[in-house]
Structure formats: C-alpha cells, structure tokens
Amino acid sequence: MLPQARLSAISSAVPEKAIPNSYFEQIIETTDEWIVSRTGIKNRYHCAPDEYTSDLCTAAARNLSAEYGIALDDVDMLLVSTVTPDHPMPSVACQVQKKLGLHHTGALDVYAACAGFSYAIALAKGLIMSGTHKKILVFGGETLSRITDFNDRTSCILFGDGAGVVLIEAASEGNIGACITGAYGEGGIDLYISGLADHIDHQEINRSGKIVQNGRKVFKWAVTTVSAEMPRLAALNGLTLDQIDWFVPHSANMRIIDAICHETGFPIEKTLESIANYGNTSSASIPLALHQGVREGKLKKGDKVMIFGFGGGLAYAGTVINW
C-alpha cells in the first residue's frame, strides 16, 4: 500500500520588533483608521538588521520541537517556501539545514510567493506518497520588510515578517486531501519584485528591487479566482463548502477574505486569518493563521480545514486537511 501523508505538528516564529500602525503615521501620510478599515491590519513584525528568513525558519522548527517534545533528527527533507531568501544561492533550506544541524536532509526552496506554502504542501504529499521521503518539514518564511518600498503608502503598511512550519510524515492514515494548483502568468506584471530582466511581458518594469503591486487588480483576481476554485476544491475532496470547518486563505487583506465569503456564502466566523496581528506575510500567512488557531483552541482534531494560497505569479494552490 502507498504510504499516506500526515500533517502532525505545527509551529511558528516572528521577530521581536512589533510595528503598530502608529509607526506609519510618523513616516507617511496615513492613519490607523485607514489601515484598519482598508486592510484589517493592526500590527506586523519587522526583522532586525542581522535577522534573515533562515533564522525565522530555524526558530519556528525549534519551537515545533519544543512544543511537541519531539526530536527532528530523522527529518529527511526541508522545503522552504519564500520570496525573501537570505541569498539567491545558497537556498534558505540549505541554511536551515546547517542551523538545525540536520546533516541527512534534502533541502529545497519553493518559489510561488503567497501560494508557496500551499504548493509546498502538495509537493511534500507527493514526495511522501511516492516513498521518496518519510518526514518533511514544510516552512513558509519571509522577511518582506527587506523588500518593502517605504515610500509607497499603498503597500508599505501591508507587509510583515515571520515563519510557520508543519511536519508532514509517512503514516498508514493520511490527512492531506486532494490538492489543486494553478497560475495566471499574464498577471505577473501586477505583482513583482524586479530581478534580472528589465521587462515582464515586454513591459518595462520598476527596477527598485522592492515589491511593486497593482493592488486593485490583484484584489479582483484573488476574489474571482478563489471564489470559483473553493467549491471545486471541496468537490475534489468529496465535500461541499458547508462541510468545511475552517477556511484559511492567504491573509493579504481582510477585505479580500470578506469578499470571498460574500461571493461563496462561506461564513466569515469559520475563517482563520493572520492579517490583524502579523500583516501580509506572504508564504508565512497560512501557517501563522493555523498556529494561532491552534493556540486559541479553535482548531480541533478531526476538523476539515481548507487552506488556499494566492498571490505573485499570479499563482494559487490549496488543499483540505483533516486536522
């Protein structure tokens, strides 16, 4: 029989420095009232000058080990979803391997922005079910404050730093359901960080090396795409939306979550978010929301949890976890 993939533990870590909305009232023309009402964000964390994505991921793994009282020595693969690697090369996963002293693991970064954690879960499931690996740590980790344009008031208020991690193991009974992945490359120009090329789709791009976003377009794409894909993802898992106990979309903006719930009729009370306390943390937002849900006693064993990442690419991915 094929081994099944089981998500069995979760944890997270954020930098020490909390950045409340009032910080932005000092540096740009904005108000706490605008930020809360337009995004739902109240706070976010920014890393220290010598703190990198690999440090946050390493701290999250150590927290997981401490919270569950388990050693990580037999982990055989590290998958790190990030768009803010410490360096383009070596990968964050290799840095985490070194920092955790896990000398026998594979190590790979996954690059699908805010959809990356959900993509990495789909990859981990495949690696376990194929028998290639037995114990995988899947991270979503970001230090977005490093690539935030603090002169752009529509985006600098959004982003935060943090990392979440889950352990996925081979087991006789799995709990990760059918996964979907998708992309709309034509929308790449609407959300990017400039890299080697000067153009996307023959259009000249801003070369700041910071996040550039056409917020309104991404907002509309996200609501339309996620609202259409949610029932399809539920059906692939033999469920209807009213059988989902918790919906955990990428936390980009509370108004996006409200709009998706409005479109699909899914109850907003059954959503978990990390936007209010952590801001938009890209890859880290879903595991941060899940871990917060566990700490608050909301997420219970047996709950059916739909995760759904979406963002730069534009890319999306999701699955249903039987918690």
Residue found under tokens 């064993």: 301
- Applying CB under 6 A, which of residues 11, 21, 39, 105 lies at the interface with ligand UT7? 39
Q: Does 116 bind ligand UT7 (CB under 6 A)?
A: no
Do residues 157 and 35 touch, judged by C-beta distance below 8 A? yes
114 is annotated as an active-site residue = yes
Active site residue 291: no
Residue 279 sits in the site that holds ligand UT7 (CB under 6 A): no
Task: Draw the binding track, 51-90, toward ligand UT7 (x: CB under 6 A; -: no contact).
Answer: ----------------------------------------
Residue 280 designated active-site: yes
Q: Which is nearer to ligand UT7, 224 or 243 (CB)?
A: 224
What's the rounded Cα separation, in Å, for the pair 317 and 238? Answer: 18
Cβ 269 vs Cβ 252: under 8 Å: no
Q: How far is the CB of 171 from ligand UT7 (least distance, A)?
A: 32
Closer residue to ligand UT7 (CB): 154 or 227: 154
Q: Which of 63, 250, 253, 277 is catalytic?
A: 250
Give the count of residues interacting with ligand UT7 (CB under 6 A).
Answer: 19
Angle at 135 between CA 278 and CA 250, to 5 degrees: 25
* Least spacing, CB of residue 67 vs ligand UT7, in Å: 27
Residue among 63, 253, 277, 280 flagged as catalytic: 280
Q: Does 227 bind ligand UT7 (CB under 6 A)?
A: no
CB contact at 8 A, 177 and 319: yes
* Distance in angstroms (rounded) separating the CA atoms of residues 58 and 141: 10
**Taking the complex as a whole, how short is the minimal distance between the CB of residue 126 and ligand UT7, in angstroms?**
25
List, in sequence order, every residue forming a beta bridge with 137; answer none if it has no partner: 78, 167
Which single residue brings its beta carbon nearest to ligand UT7? Answer: 215
Burial of 255 (0-12, 13-18, 19+ CB in 10 A): middle
Binding status of residue 21 toward ligand UT7 by CB under 6 A: no
Which of 321, 287, 285 minimizes the C-alpha distance to 305?
321
Nearer Cβ to ligand UT7 (105/285): 285
- Does residue 271 bind ligand UT7 (CB under 6 A)? no
Cβ distance 320 to 244 under 8 Å? yes
Residue 259: in which H helix or E strand, if any? helix 254-264
Under the binding rule (CB under 6 A), the answer on residue 218 touching ligand UT7 is yes
CA–CA dist 237, 243 (Å, integer): 11
The answer to the question of residue 272 lying near ligand UT7 (CB under 6 A) is no
Place of tokens 């594979």: 106
- Out of 3, 17, 34, 129, point to the residue binding ligand UT7 (CB under 6 A): 34
Name the phi and psi angles at 52, rounded to 5: -125, 170
Give the residue with the Cβ less far from ligand UT7, 113 or 122.
Answer: 113
Find the helix packing angle between 254-264 and 215-236, rounded to 10°. Answer: 50
Cα gap 321→141, rounded to integer Å: 20
Q: Which of residues 140-199 bind ligand UT7 (CB under 6 A)?
A: 153-154, 157
Binding residues (CB under 6 A) for ligand UT7: these are 30, 34, 38-39, 114, 153-154, 157, 215-216, 218-219, 222, 252-253, 256, 280, 282, 311
Q: Which residues are catalytic?
A: 114, 250, 280
